[in-house]
């Protein structure tokens, strides 16, 4: 199979995201590791710099890094930076085992009867709001107990990994659940997740050591992609390529909230990872308050991609997966914005790859349009 067929095959691959540390968090609208991997192999070589300006859960960053590229990831969402950091930070087997033992100890401490006096500060954190509804209250206390015990771990990477174990378990327990999760299941799950994630992190850490990777070859920054050219030292060291997926026009996506009890939006992921929240959905989606006005969306595409252009070599490729609720209207506009930002579409060899996204929880903003989204893989070249 040639590499482009491979890219196509991986783009239409509907299997669950897994392998290495990819399953540490279900980041909304993440793409498959296979897709990122084949794009990276197709348009870059070992040692090259690969950028993802909208890195989300860090799929591109992890894949670029383990295939010997230098990786530069940026996202406006502090949660994305936290997740990408934990997924790419190797730990010793001893440190990983400390976290699995800690999770077992924490699960044993989770009880309705545990005193709340030393949990007050954590429980009253504003980022834990909406977890006080009756169906979530017991689990809120269980999470607070776990957060309170983080100090039992000696190093900051161990604590971050432990936070990620709590995060994954809590996402499973709270986000989009039709029924509330019993405490006994939560306790079992946190221990199970810790074991599973430990195996995955050990595998990644072995690969890291075997391939002699260096953490300084992966950079993660929280910034607006419209400023990415100011964030790194790209002047003498431009990127060979970009693999990314930006926010999507007309598709409402909750990058920064969980839906507790089916509908209440909760900033709990920021509470658990102790990261900064404080912005509304439009901040993370290029969209202004008036969601029917796409002018603001496309202005933002031009601004961010023009900034990315300054970090990219002439002729460098941009491979992106974009979903459109209304492709007829928005694909053309999207392509115009890319031209304005300094790119031309590579059409001679590569046809656009399209796929319909199944089972994704996202909503088109238009009345009367389908809620299923169609994703398109676009390949551009910096001119
Ligand atoms: C479709 S998601 C990327 C998912 C990613 N490919 C993955 O596999 O997890 C789009 C990301 O763009 C980020 N974002 C939105 N506006 C941004 C901006 N102005 N600058 C940088 N990142 C932004 C969102 O926070 C979100 O994480």
The verdict on 201 and 134 lying in the same domain is: yes
pLDDT value at residue 1: 60
In the block, residue with structure tokens 């230098």 = 70
Residue 251 pairs with which residues in a beta bridge?
364
Asked if residues 20 and 200 have their Cβ atoms less than 8 Å apart, the reply is yes
Residue 379 pairs with which residues in a beta bridge?
319
The verdict on 57 and 114 lying in the same domain is: no
Residue 362 lies in a domain: yes
The verdict on 126 and 8 lying in the same domain is: no
The verdict on 127 and 239 lying in the same domain is: no
Residue 36 lies in a domain: yes
Average pLDDT, the chain: 89
The verdict on 62 and 142 lying in the same domain is: no
Residue with the nearest Cα to atom 3 of ligand 1?
Answer: 56
The verdict on 188 and 232 lying in the same domain is: no
Q: Which residues have C-beta within 8 Å of that of residue 348, sequence separation ≥ 6?
A: none
Asked if residues 323 and 357 have their Cβ atoms less than 8 Å apart, the reply is yes
The verdict on 347 and 331 lying in the same domain is: yes
CA 364 – CA 171 distance, rounded (Å) = 24
Q: Which residues have C-beta within 8 Å of that of residue 22, sequence separation ≥ 6?
A: 33, 57, 59, 62, 87
Asked if residues 372 and 298 have their Cβ atoms less than 8 Å apart, the reply is no
User: What CATH number did the domain enclosing 31 receive?
Assistant: 3.40.50.150
Residue 236 lies in a domain: yes
Domain end marker among 209, 229, 261: 209
Q: Which residues of the chain have pLDDT under 50?
A: 359, 361-371
Helices 33-43 and 59-66 meet at what angle, rounded to 10?
50
The verdict on 202 and 219 lying in the same domain is: no
Structure tokens at 299: 């202005």
Say how far residue 211 (Cα) sits from the centre of its chain.
Answer: 24
The verdict on 128 and 59 lying in the same domain is: no
Q: What radius of gyration do the chain's Cα atoms show? A: 21
Domain end marker among 194, 209, 224: 209
Residue 267 lies in a domain: no
CA 107 – CA 90 distance, rounded (Å) = 25
The count of domains in the chain is 2
Determine if ligand 1 sits within 6 Å of the CB of residue 239. Answer: no
- Tell me which of 11, 23, 74, 75 to substitute to probe ligand 1's pocket, judged by most ligand atoms within 8 Å of the beta carbon: 75
pLDDT value at residue 365: 45
In the block, residue with structure tokens 């009880």 = 111
The verdict on 73 and 188 lying in the same domain is: no
Residue with the nearest Cα to atom 17 of ligand 1?
Answer: 76
Say how many Å lie between the CA of residue 154 and the centre of ligand 1.
32
The verdict on 332 and 218 lying in the same domain is: yes
Residue 261 lies in a domain: no
- Residue 263, CA distances (Å) to 257, 266, 345, 356 in order: 11, 9, 40, 25
pLDDT value at residue 94: 98
Residue 131 lies in a domain: yes
Q: Which residues have C-beta within 8 Å of that of residue 43, sequence separation ≥ 6?
A: 240, 241, 316, 317, 319
Determine if ligand 1 sits within 6 Å of the CB of residue 122. Answer: no
| Three-state SS letters, the chain | CCHHHHHHHHHCCCCCCCCCCHHHCCCCCCCCHHHHHHHHHHHCCCCCEEEECCCCCCHHHHHHHHCCCEEEEEECCHHHHHHHHHHHCCCCHHHHHHHHHHHHHHHHHCCCCCCCHHHHHHHCCHHHCCCCCHHHHHHHHHHHHHHHCHHHCCCHHHHHHHHHHHHHHHHHHHECCCCCCCHHHHHHHHHHHHHHHHHHHHHHHHHHHHCCCCHHHEEEEECCHHHHHHHCCCCCCCEEEEEECCCCCCEECCCCCEEECCCEEECHHHHHHCCCCCCCHHHHHCCCCCCCCCHHHHHHHHHHHHHHHCCEEEEEEEEEEEEECCHHHHHHHHHHHHHHCCEEECCCCCCCEEEECCCCCCEECCCCCCCCCEEEEEEEEEC
Say how many Å lie between the CA of residue 284 and the centre of ligand 1.
7
Residue 32, phi then psi, degrees to nearest 5: -80, 145
> Which domain does 118 fall in, by range?
93-209
Residue 29 lies in a domain: yes
The verdict on 337 and 361 lying in the same domain is: yes
- With CA atoms as reference, report the closest residue to 330 among 364, 289, 368: 364
- Residue 26, CA distances (Å) to 11, 17, 154, 236 in order: 18, 9, 27, 36
Domain end marker among 190, 209, 228: 209
pLDDT value at residue 367: 40
- Tell me which of 34, 50, 54 to substitute to probe ligand 1's pocket, judged by most ligand atoms within 8 Å of the beta carbon: 54
Determine if ligand 1 sits within 6 Å of the CB of residue 79. Answer: no
- Residue 103, CA distances (Å) to 4, 67, 152 in order: 43, 32, 11
Residue 273 lies in a domain: no
pLDDT value at residue 7: 76
pLDDT value at residue 287: 81
């Amino acid at each position: 199979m040639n590499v482009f067929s491979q890219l196509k095959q991986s783009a239409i691959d509907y299997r669950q995201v897994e392998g290495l540390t990819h399953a540490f968090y279900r980041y909304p609208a993440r793409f498959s590791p296979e897709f990122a991997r084949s794009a990276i192999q197709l348009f870059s070589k070992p040692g090259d710099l690969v950028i993802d300006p909208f890195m989300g859960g860090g799929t591109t960053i992890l894949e670029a890094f383990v295939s010997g590229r230098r990786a530069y990831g940026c996202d406006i969402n502090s949660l994305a930076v936290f997740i990408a950091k934990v997924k790419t930070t190797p730990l010793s087997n001893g440190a990983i085992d400390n976290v699995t033992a800690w999770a077992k100890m924490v699960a044993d401490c989770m009880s309705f009867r545990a005193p709340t006096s030393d949990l007050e500060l954590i429980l009253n954190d504003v980022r834990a709001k909406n977890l006080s509804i009756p169906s979530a209250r017991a689990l809120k206390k269980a999470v607070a107990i776990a957060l309170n015990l983080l100090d039992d771990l000696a190093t900051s990477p161990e604590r971050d990994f432990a936070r990620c174990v709590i995060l994954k378990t809590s996402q499973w327990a709270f986000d989009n659940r039709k029924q509330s999760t019993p405490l006994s299941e939560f306790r079992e799950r946190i221990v199970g997740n810790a074991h599973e994630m430990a195996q995955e992190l050990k595998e990644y850490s072995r690969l890291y050591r075997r391939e002699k990777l260096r953490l300084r070859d992966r950079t993660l920054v929280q910034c607006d992609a419209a400023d990415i050219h100011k964030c790194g030292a790209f002047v003498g060291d431009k990127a060979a390529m970009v693999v990314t997926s930006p926010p999507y026009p007309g598709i409402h996506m909750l990058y920064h909230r969980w839906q507790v009890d089916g509908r209440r939006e909760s900033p709990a992921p920021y509470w658990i990872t102790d990261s900064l929240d404080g912005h509304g959905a439009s901040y993370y989606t290029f969209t202004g308050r008036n969601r029917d006005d796409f002018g603001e969306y496309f202005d933002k595409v031009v601004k961010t991609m023009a900034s990315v252009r300054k970090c990219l070599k002439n002729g460098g490729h941009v491979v992106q997966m974009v979903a459109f609720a209304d492709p007829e209207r928005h694909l053309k506009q999207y392509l115009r914005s890319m031209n304005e930002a300094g790119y031309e579409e590579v059409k001679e060899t590569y046809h656009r790859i399209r796929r319909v996204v199944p089972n994704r929880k996202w909503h088109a903003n238009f009345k009367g349009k389908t809620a299923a989204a169609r994703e398109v893989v676009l390949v551009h070249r910096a001119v």
